[in-house]
Chain A
Amino acid sequence: MISMEIRKGIKGLFKDSSGLMAFIGFMILIFYIIMAVFAPFISPYNPTQPSGPSLLPPTISHIMGTDNLGYDIFSRLVWGTRMAFAIALIATAIAAVVGIPVGLLVGYVGGKTDRVVTMIMDSVYAFPGLILAIAIAAMLGPGLLNIAFSIAVVYIPTYYRVIRSQVSTVKSELYVDGARAIGAKSSTIIGSYVFPNVLPSTIVIFSMNLADSIMTEAGLSFLGLGIAPPTPDWGYDLAKGQQFILNNDWWMVLFPGIAIITIVLGFSMFAEGLDEYFNPNIGEKR
């Protein structure tokens, strides 16, 4: 996963001040969230209609310039935030809703079920994420939900693996034996004794996967498998800008690129900070 690499890098950068790291990540996210929520007020032009001459370099009226069709890049960037968040949240939610319960159940039951399901999940996990997403997206066709679903499939195994391995440790804790001894049903044991104890790790994967799915979404849009144009979308804008790069029209690539990088960085830093917060001794293990 890409965000893993990023996390390792930024972790080295911040070392002991993980609080600062989480704070910076959080600030970046707040910035983008405000941008997404107040898009209609922030963006100066309609992002899906030409608002000036085409291929205009950054000026005062178009602070990030315009693209080949005369769309205002800044407006598209602002509206694109919504798309990035929407797809990332939906995809991560689908992955969590499927991956967490399956991991809980399979981890708790163990035995042959565990071996079979883990094998299936591992084979999905071993598959290159973007290629799998491309395959599913190509099958389902464009559209917000379809894209979200094809990204979700890639990230279900991440949840499953983490939850399952956590459950299999928690399962042998004495308090789970204690719960059995007082006559708790398996559903009660999973719900009240196992789940709360594996929950902290899910929160961390959740924010980590948000970063990953934004990357994957941008990748899919870049390859033309994302949202149907002219809906504002960073990956699509990036792909379009790439055609004009030889023309020296650098602004078309630069700004969507910066947006993608910073939001992913924001999520990664936030995830790493959360990780430190919830598992204070995890740094020693690594």
Chain B
Amino acid sequence: MDQEKQTQLLSVRNLKKYFPLKVSWLKAFSKERSYVRAVDDLSFEIKYGETLGLVGESGSGKTTVGRTLIRLESPTDGHILFEDVDLAKISGESLRVKRQHFQMIFQDPMASLNPYMRVGNAIGHPLKIHHIGNKSERKMHVYEILNKVGLPPEEFYNRFPRHLSGGQRQRVVIARAVITSPKFVVADEVTAMLDVSIRSQILKLLIEMKNELGLTYLFITHDLASAKYICDRIAVMYLGKIVEIAKTYDIFKEPLHPYTKILMASVPVPDPKMKTKKFIPTGEIPSPINIPSGCRFHPRCPYATKTCSKIEPELKDVNGRLVACHLYDQNGKN
């Protein structure tokens, strides 16, 4: 048990993030407040050096998970054990100092850099904030990291972000995220806004950085192909809950949860002759304000039974994988 705990960098327990809906103050007296349940009771672990993929449709709460893990949002409830510290419980100065150990790469490289800060200063800023090294050491470090992310420092150090392309900006953002040698990096749809031709380069860069600096990633994406490429394990999220966690190989070979099956089936196959029976999910993802009773997926699930609309399934061990679905109740017991 102790051994197992040591291999875990991050352990999330019953994480909840509800956003209160804005109501006029008159109504607030009479009515109970309603919430957007963006993240609803999430538990998972990330081991040292692992890349965990978090996949799901838009609106499933993936980004909120990422933002909450690095405490850009404070969780409504639950624990985020980062080594020995519960990130959900600390705040203020102790949290600020701790921030050098976990970073986030945002989805939109166009918006995540201060337009009035030169590339070199932007990358070196985390070092300055956390008082790492003196001025010349910091500059050396920035040069080094610029080289690593494939931007010649002489050329890029003094440029403004507006002079860079999307891919170059994303490289700058990655450089800034890893310059303090963090232990944990949340990569939020890093490739979503980039051209397809640049995606694989950025993914390769992420893998290189990981190998070189010993990083651990939470890789948030809706692009299953890139998840398959980079992740060790994949967690599938639906409406604020994880419905399945398994090794990447297993989940692509045999998805268990009906939602995962549908997600996998939605990946286009480059073979015009292949005609598989695809179940395209009907309708949109329900609103996280009025979450369906029982299993969240039952209104769209092709296998839904009566139990599904009544009892919410828990994440259970099915053949060494975690699945939250009533279909596998028997299997779980065996």
Contacts and interface: CB of A to CB of B under 8 A. Distances in A.
B129 A174 contact: no
A278 interface: no
B104 interface: yes
Given A181-B103, A182-B99, A175 B112 contact: yes
A184 B116 contact: no
A197 B114 contact: yes
B80 interface: no
Contacts of A178: 104, 106, 112-114, 173, 176
A167 to B, nearest CB: 14
A181 B114 contact: no
A98 interface: no
A196 B116 CA distance: 6
B114 A183 contact: no
Nearest to A184: B129
A180 B97 contact: no
A111 to B, nearest CB: 14
B126 A182 contact: yes
Interface in A160-183: 173-175, 177-183
Given A183-B97, A197-B114, A177 B126 contact: no
Contact of B70 (A174, A181, A184, A196): A181
Q: How large is the interface on A (under 10, 10 to 19, 20 to 34, 35 or more residues)?
A: 10 to 19
B111 A175 contact: yes
B280 interface: no
A46 interface: no
B125 interface: yes
A165 B116 CA distance: 19
Interface in B196-237: none
B24 to A, nearest CB: 15
Nearest to B70: A181
Contact of B129 (A173, A177, A188, A196): A188
B96 interface: yes
A179 B190 CA distance: 18
Nearest to A180: B72
A193 interface: yes
A175 B180 CA distance: 18
A173 B70 CA distance: 17
Contacts of A173: 111
B20 interface: no
B117 A192 contact: yes
A166 to B, nearest CB: 13
A174 B112 contact: yes
A185 interface: yes
19 contacts: A174-B106, A174-B108, A174-B111, A175-B115, A177-B67, A177-B106, A177-B112, A178-B106, A179-B125, A180-B72, A182-B99, A182-B125, A183-B98, A184-B125, A185-B129, A188-B129, A193-B117, A196-B116, A197-B114
Interface of A: 173-175, 177-185, 188, 192-193, 196-197
Given A178-B176, A182-B126, A184-B129, 13 more contacts: A174-B106, A174-B108, A177-B72, A178-B104, A178-B112, A178-B114, A179-B114, A181-B104, A182-B129, A182-B176, A192-B125, A193-B117, A196-B114
User: Lowest 3 CB-CB distances: which A-B pairs, in order?
Assistant: A183-B99, A196-B116, A174-B111
